[in-house]
Amino acid sequence: MTRTNEPALTSQEQERYHRLAESAENMDTLPEGAVITKSNGPGAGQALLEAALGSPEAVQRSVGRPSLSGKAAPAPVRSYRLTEELLRELGERAEAEHRKPSEIVREALHQYCTGHLRSQARLALLPVAAQPSPYLDTATVAAARTAELGGTIEGGPRACLLMP
């Protein structure tokens, strides 16, 4: 089947694919007395994959789990148990939103953690007292105000009382 919307292979690409095909076809027979050893290094087979896929970057994209941070290292993995009902609901939602279940779980966990941290810091904004207080400091007030309200409040200075 020929696809008309894809560009034709360049002569370099044709030659490369021809060499790879020839190499694969001739692997059935090894020279007499050939000794085969298993490579035990972490890069075993890397050269073959790079030759087949064209570059180290192409190999990185094609094997393994993709990086979430954009760095070369794989993302940390956690495994959690779910009820059948929750798993079904997650699958239905992922299908409806055309997203991966893992993406939905990461987003939900992020929202839970950031919301939970905000609710833990019960803040009360009070007018600054006429007398200075040893319990208040400007940096704490500003950080708490930003964390609780997602921004700053216009107007005069205010004090912050952190409650357990």
- What's the mean per-residue pLDDT of the chain? 72
Q: Tens of pLDDT along 128-150? A: 443 445 555 555 555 555 555 54
Q: Which residues fall within 8 angstroms of residue 82, CB to CB, at 6 or more apart?
A: 90
Rounded distance between C-alpha atoms, residue 61 and residue 56, angstroms: 9
Closest CA to 127 of 155, 147, 163, 164: 155
Domain residue spans of the chain? 102-126
Q: Is the dihedral of CA 26, 30, 34, 37 positive or negative?
A: positive
The pLDDT confidence band at residue 90, using thresholds 50, 70 and 90, is: very high
